[in-house]
Structure 1
Amino acid sequence: MDNQLLLSLTEKYGSPLYVYNADKIISQYNRITEAFSSVKNLKLNYAVKANSNISVLKLFNKLSSGIDTVSIQEVQLGLEAGFYPENIIYTPNGVSLQEIEQVANLGVQINIDNISILEQFGHHYPNIPVCVRINPHIMAGGNHKISVGHIDSKFGISIHQVPHIKRVVENTKMHINGIHMHTGSDILDIDVFLAATEILFNTAKEFPQIDFIDFGSGFKVPYKEGDISTNIEELGEKLSKRFNTFCKEFGKDLTLMFEPGKFLVSEAGYFLTHVNVVKQTTSTVFASVDSGFNHLIRPMLYDSYHHIHNISNPNGRERYYSVVGYICETDTFGSNRRISEIREGDVLCFNNAGAYCYTMASNYNSRYRPAEVLLYNGNDYLIRKQETFNDLIKNQVIIDLD
């Protein structure tokens, strides 16, 4: 991304600022579709939780993507963005039967991840097809907080409980039309992922009426130069061959589904901040910016790495800085980072800010959430305004204490 373009956007829209490059989103989407081009029926369902801005969702709708949602609110955002209900899959965790009923009434594909709700839903709505989420008991992904397919995870129905699922189906006469799993984010080892797919293939054999198998996602993207990422082309070659063979054995052309989020939007995003203060201590030089974990919490929550560079002085002499925020707690974006000399007023750019960044932002310390901009077809579009004081108080009910 051109530094001058990013700087001009901060001048136009202020900072902090999130910027998303539609060209990168499109190219990542095309990478997956091309990697699995030998599969007859492929459907990508973009994971809305990664970046739920309606304009971003509209872009995926234009690409003929479906969407994966985890709440009724995300379903409603998808409908607002123009998605047909049949192109939305709803994969919640630990929600009430009442919410699932509300979503079912919208005509969305339901995905259930526990025996209790499956039995209740099947008893009341045996004619509404549902997918079941299986926990394969495979430890995959990066940080343990985003590994969700292991034996101690709250997600999914244990692979050992498949007989219970079949008993529920037999008792309620409900229709299971899909099998799903998600092992976790930041998949590094393709062979581990493929091992989990074998578990899902074996499970699928128990449900002859299914129409699709959803393998989740969690594909890793690079966060810095030389970083390891999921080789989507190699995965496409190996899994496509296995899936096509399975369909022949199964006697039916099933749909292969994925629900990528980070892979599609992470690298497309840039977070821009101004430097408020450069502070020298006895051992550390701090660069304090006009943001904090209220806007970008991933480094503090997951120890995630976001490459930080000084786009105001890209050719300056490199020094070591700890980049910190303005929140009244320790909110360190990066410690002892080698960055071109930082001066007060410079603009720093955080890479990989397209996924799980704005969607996890808050008003902590009563700070405003920032604006968002989408670069599309050579133009920049404001797709969310920066908040104002009225946004902070609009839902508060102020009572008279006299």
Structure 2
Amino acid sequence: MENVLSHAQLLAVAEEYGTPLYVYHEDKIVSQYQRLVKAFNNEKVRFFYACKALTNINILKVLKAQGCNIDCSSINEVKLALHVGFDPKNVLYTSNGIDFEEIETARSLGVIINIDSLSNLKKFGQKFGSSYPVGVRLRPNIMAGGNLKISTGHDKSKFGIPVDQLDQLLDIISQHQINITNLHIHTGSDIKDVDVFVKGIEVLFEIIPHFPNLKSIDLGGGFKVAYKEDDPAIDIEALAASVLETFASNELTKDLQIWFEPGKFLVSESGYFVTKVNVLKETSATTFAGVNSGFNHLIRPMFYDAYHRIANLSNPQGEEKEYTITGNICETDTFAWSRPLPEVREGDLLVFYNAGAYGFEMSSNYNSRFKPAEVLITNGSARLIRKRDVFEDLLRGQLVD
């Protein structure tokens, strides 16, 4: 695997900054973005980093420096993007079930807006008419992604305006003369099948003629990355060839911009989560290795049944045994069952791979535990990009008489 941090590098950083610790490798983020640019190699294609995956402003700056645009899921993500210097015309805000006030704020900030409900689109039309171009998110009724929790395009998903409500959508647009310049679809996450994106485009072929001012088609993100050694991942080069060919083959789409919103693809493999083994507990069923973390720091295995490769940094040559890796909070927080690892001892450091996306971002202070520090490695040098919580952080915002 390219641009992988070594055990020695991770041990050195953990020794300097303590554990639990999130470590990100800038070279990997850059190489993932450059792979996308090289694969598509087309001026009509724009990439918007789906920053919900990881919003540390230092990561946003890395991608901004590469020329990447940014996709935001809340108005505060929009404000973070503008804070680090993204031009509003390169900031995409796709709303979902939000108060119309957020859309008004996004409009006042001058960013690109996608609206995902008939209700908010009607409010937008009533207030702004044709004065501000806007996009709409459609639900194509396509099942895709790693599991139901991360599939967003199927017929029971809350996301987007169902394509079978096209007549209602067009009535609202006509009534208020709304200027629709972008159509957006996003079918899910962990998509390894290139054909899913082609099917999405084909769904739009019959819809596009109703939108004469269209300038772009947004196909979302969800590109699958490998979590295990032999895990399949999306073939970006095949995806580029297939999507470009499909767009070029139809008069309706051949001149439109093509937008993508990669998140996990850009940052997942750049991230490492380093923990310390607090306690070994042998039982008749398994040997538990209890680490100084829990789902308050990395919830993906519990929330999505996600697999994270784990390595023993301290004893990589030890005799292989099976361990159940658990956390230290007052809940069932199992990271991995019966995982083969080199012999684990109390005090050893374990690393979780693919921790760059939805790791720290979904962390909490549950059990009044501190959130971990974050470190970015650039050109071999590590620097702290978020301090570890201290007790005062738990009190921030609380009021007493």
| TM-score calculated relative to the size of structure 1 | 0.97
Matches within 5 A, 1:67-106: 67-106=70-109
1:183 and 2:187 are equivalent in the alignment? yes
Q: Deviations over 1:211-251 (max 9, x none)?
A: 111000100000011101111111111111111233xx138
Matches within 5 A, 1:233-272: 233-246=237-250, 249-250=251-252, 253-272=255-274
Once residues 83 and 186 of structure 1 are traced to their aligned partners in structure 2, the CA distance between those partners, rounded to angstroms, is 27
- Preserved CA contact (<8 Å) 2:375 2:382: yes
How many angstroms does 1:106 deviate by? Answer: 0.3
Which residue number in structure 1 is paired with residue 219 of structure 2? 215
1:230 and 2:234 are equivalent in the alignment? yes
Once residues 95 and 113 of structure 1 are traced to their aligned partners in structure 2, the CA distance between those partners, rounded to angstroms, is 9
Q: Deviations over 1:116-152 (max 9, x none)?
A: 1101101111211110001000000012111000001
- Preserved CA contact (<8 Å) 1:40 1:253: no
How many angstroms does 1:252 deviate by? Answer: 6.5
Of 16, 23, 26, the residue aligned with 1:19 is 23
- Preserved CA contact (<8 Å) 1:112 1:118: yes
- Preserved CA contact (<8 Å) 1:186 1:219: yes
- Preserved CA contact (<8 Å) 1:140 1:193: no
Once residues 330 and 175 of structure 1 are traced to their aligned partners in structure 2, the CA distance between those partners, rounded to angstroms, is 50
Once residues 202 and 374 of structure 1 are traced to their aligned partners in structure 2, the CA distance between those partners, rounded to angstroms, is 46
Once residues 39 and 211 of structure 2 are traced to their aligned partners in structure 1, the CA distance between those partners, rounded to angstroms, is 27
Once residues 251 and 336 of structure 1 are traced to their aligned partners in structure 2, the CA distance between those partners, rounded to angstroms, is 50
Once residues 188 and 55 of structure 1 are traced to their aligned partners in structure 2, the CA distance between those partners, rounded to angstroms, is 29
Once residues 106 and 125 of structure 1 are traced to their aligned partners in structure 2, the CA distance between those partners, rounded to angstroms, is 14
- Preserved CA contact (<8 Å) 2:198 2:246: no
Runs of 4+ in 1 over 6 A off after TM superposition: none
Q: Deviations over 1:36-64 (max 9, x none)?
A: 11x33111000010000000000111011
Structure 1 counterpart of 2:290, which letter?
Answer: S
Q: Deviations over 1:343-382 (max 9, x none)?
A: 1110000000000110100000000000001111221111
Once residues 322 and 166 of structure 2 are traced to their aligned partners in structure 1, the CA distance between those partners, rounded to angstroms, is 54
Q: What's the % identity of the aligned pairs?
A: 51
Q: Deviations over 1:149-176 (max 9, x none)?
A: 0001000001111222211111101100
- Range 200-209 or range 326-335, more displaced: 200-209
Once residues 2 and 257 of structure 1 are traced to their aligned partners in structure 2, the CA distance between those partners, rounded to angstroms, is 35
| TM-score calculated relative to the size of structure 2 | 0.97
- Preserved CA contact (<8 Å) 2:36 2:236: yes
1:342 and 2:347 are equivalent in the alignment? no
1:148 and 2:152 are equivalent in the alignment? yes
- Preserved CA contact (<8 Å) 2:292 2:328: yes
How many angstroms does 1:19 deviate by? Answer: 0.4
Structure 1: which 5+ runs fail to align?
Answer: none
Which residue number in structure 2 is paired with residue 274 of structure 1? 276
Once residues 311 and 327 of structure 2 are traced to their aligned partners in structure 1, the CA distance between those partners, rounded to angstroms, is 15
Structure 2 counterpart of 1:391, which letter?
Answer: D
How many angstroms does 1:34 deviate by? Answer: 1.4
Of 13, 20, 34, the residue aligned with 2:38 is 34
Structure 1 counterpart of 2:24, which letter?
Answer: Y
Which residue number in structure 2 is paired with residue 385 of structure 1? 387
Once residues 371 and 201 of structure 1 are traced to their aligned partners in structure 2, the CA distance between those partners, rounded to angstroms, is 47
Which residue number in structure 2 is paired with residue 108 of structure 1? 111
Once residues 37 and 245 of structure 2 are traced to their aligned partners in structure 1, the CA distance between those partners, rounded to angstroms, is 15
- Range 8-17 or range 185-194, more displaced: 185-194
Structure 2 counterpart of 1:58, which letter?
Answer: K
Structure 2 counterpart of 1:262, which letter?
Answer: K
Of 47, 51, 63, the residue aligned with 1:44 is 47
Matches within 5 A, 1:240-389: 240-246=244-250, 249-250=251-252, 253-389=255-391
Which residue number in structure 1 is paired with residue 120 of structure 2? 117
Which residue number in structure 2 is paired with residue 194 of structure 1? 198
- Preserved CA contact (<8 Å) 2:29 2:270: yes
Which residue number in structure 2 is paired with residue 398 of structure 1? 400
How many angstroms does 1:253 deviate by? Answer: 2.5
Partner of 1:105, secondary structure, is helix
Which residue number in structure 2 is paired with residue 173 of structure 1? 177
Partner of 1:123, secondary structure, is helix
Q: In structure 2, do the counterparts of structure 1 residues 75 and 251 end up closer, same or farther at CA, with 3 Å as the change threshold? A: closer
